[in-house]
Amino acid sequence: MKTSRSSQGHGSHATGPQSELGVIATDGHKHDTISPHPPANNNLPPNGGTRAWLQVLGGFFLFMNSWGIVNTYGVYQTYYERNLLHQKSPSSISWIGSTQAFLLIFISVATGPLFDLGYFIPVLLPLGSVLIVFGMMMTSVCNHYWQVMLAQGVVIGLGCGCLFLPSVAIVSTYFTTKKAFATGIVAVGGSVGGVLYSLLFARLQPSIGFAWATRTIGFIALATLGISAAVLRVRVLPPARRRLLDHTAFREIPYTVFSIAEFLGFIGIYIPFFYIQSYALDRGVNPHLVFYLVTILNAASIFGRLGPNYVADRIGPLNVLIPCCIITALLGFCWIAIDSTAGIVVFCILYGFFSGAFVTLPPTIIVGLSPSLSVLGARMGMSFSLAAFGSLIGTPVAGVILKKYGWVGLQAFCGASVGAASIAIIVTRMKKTPRLMEKA
């Protein structure tokens, strides 16, 4: 499909980079769609219609097969600890999942400019799809730690990184007033994928084995990514390359403190997703129920990604994120006292819901902390980098703490890291505007 570049220098940032960390809602009137030859109506976003909603469908499946796969790793963590990689420590095993998440976020810093240059359909989409499916198939035949790390951690991580940011960026070019709703549907794909794939693995692995359970997920990924390839079409290209760095960003206290909050939060936010099943088994929970706990976490996070975003449009994202993060931190500490089956299930529901805000609201907050759209992409990429390193080290460090101090140490580490992030977010809010009743 033929694409065109706008003559408006800053139009590319009207759509903004977006990610599993959240969906950016920007001014619906700033678009990179003005043609140098009037009339311009042919290039205006359709804001609906069959083709536009097909982009939402295609983006949903890309998200399902990027963050959805990453959100599924908890069931693999439990299986590896007790079967395939039982000779390895939980910390060593968690490096596989944390590497996958790190690459997904970190590689996206580069995929944004590549999308801007028009390489999504011819390069990023097929490359990411092949890497994900190939990585799943190779994981199914792995017998050693280094093989699993390479196939599931590196190959799948790189594939996910090729897909998840462009999946919502392309949708944004098709909508104006419905942009937040459309991209919100796309972002929910990450939780739906986590529910679907963790449920499939839990049901299929005992009956058909690890290899074919993993291959089944790979085949579903192949089919759904094929749908994305069939329906996704780049409508317009941004007018200019996105800056990778904004050297003035860290001179601003609110942006700097919030970036630190992202790093601290991602150290601890995914610890229950990786370790809740092992904890439940150690507490004598029925093994048939244990393998559904990650599914419950992901199912609850669907509502935790939609509900807080809806409220944030009315009272401000920082005002929503602060209580959600505080409650998430408190739940991390409350986890110490939970040892019954009912308590663990309730914990999964509550933690999945309130932690969902931390992975969806930050980009919207960064929009408000950026002086102009011309630096939004750079600032988003810089924050992604810090969040990526937090996700890389968080769960492995938790595994080391588990080995030395037991479950209480791991649970306290989870609560403390998210609690530290909560304090940093409060500081961000006060530095941005000290008036408590103001939208922020």
Average pLDDT over residues 418-426: 96
Q: What is the mean pLDDT of the chain?
A: 84
For 98-107, 159-168, 177-186, 292-301, which range has the lowest pLDDT when averaged over its residues? 177-186
Q: What is the pLDDT of residues 118-150, one digit of tens each?
A: 888 899 999 999 999 999 999 999 999 999 999
Maximum C-alpha span of the chain: 70
Q: In this model, does residue 406 exceed pLDDT 80?
A: yes
Query: Residue 178's pLDDT is what?
Result: 63
φ, ψ of residue 109 to 5 degrees: the values are: -60, -30
Q: For 13-25+47-432, give the CATH class.
A: mainly alpha
What pLDDT does 306 receive?
Answer: 80
Q: Which amino acid is at 320?
A: V
Q: Residue 113 — pLDDT band, cuts 50, 70, 90?
A: confident
| pLDDT, tens digit, 9 for 90 and up, residues 210-222 | 999 999 999 999 9
> Mean of the pLDDT values across residues 104-110?
84
Most confident of 158-162, 243-247, 290-294: 158-162
- Residue appearing with tokens 């959100």: 71
Percentages helix, strand, coil for the chain, rounded to the nearest 5? 75, 0, 25
Q: How far is Cα 24 from Cα 22, in angstroms, rounded to an integer? A: 7
Residues 391, 105 contacting (CB under 8 angstroms): yes
Amino acid identity for residue 122 in this structure:
P
In angstroms, the CA 375 to CA 323 distance is: 29
Positive or negative: CA dihedral 345, 350, 355, 361: positive
- For tokens 């005992």, what's the residue? 206
- Report the pLDDT value the prediction gives residue 373, as an integer from 0 to 100: 60
pLDDT at residue number 33: 39
pLDDT-derived band at 337 (thresholds 50, 70, 90) equals: very high
Percent above pLDDT 70 for the chain: 84
Q: Whole-model pTM?
A: 0.80
The fraction of the chain above a pLDDT of 90, given in percent, is 54
Q: What's the rounded mean pLDDT across residues 409-428? A: 96
Distance CA(333)–CA(281), nearest Å, equals: 19
d(CA 306, CA 324): 13
pLDDT of res. 384:
81
Size of the chain, expressed as the number of residues it contains? 440
Structure tokens at 289: 């129920």
Hey, where are the domains in the chain?
Answer: 13-25+47-432
Query: Which residues, at least 6 apart from 405, have a Cβ–Cβ distance to it below 8 Å?
Result: none
Q: How confident is the model at residue 12 (pLDDT cuts 50, 70, 90)?
A: very low
**Residue 237, strand partner residues:** 5
Helices and strands (H and E) in the chain: how many: 16, 0
Q: Is the pLDDT of residue 101 over 50?
A: yes
- Classify 389 as helix, strand or coil: helix
What's the pLDDT tens digit per position in 235-282? 766 555 566 677 788 888 999 999 999 999 999 999 999 999 999 999
pLDDT of 28 higher than 80 = no
pLDDT at position 377? 65
pLDDT score, position 440: 65
Q: How far is CA 336 from the centre of its chain?
A: 26
Beta-bridge partner residues of 19 = 22
Is residue 331 pLDDT above 90, yes or no? Answer: yes
Q: Is the peptide bond before 39 cis (omega within 30 degrees of 0)?
A: yes
- Under DSSP, the state recorded for 244 is S
Name the DSSP class of 197: H
Residue 24 has pLDDT above 70, yes or no: no
Look at residue 186 in the predicted model and tell me its pLDDT.
Answer: 82
What was the pLDDT predicted at 31? 41
Q: Quick one: pLDDT at residue 299?
A: 92
At position 186, the amino acid (one-letter code) is V
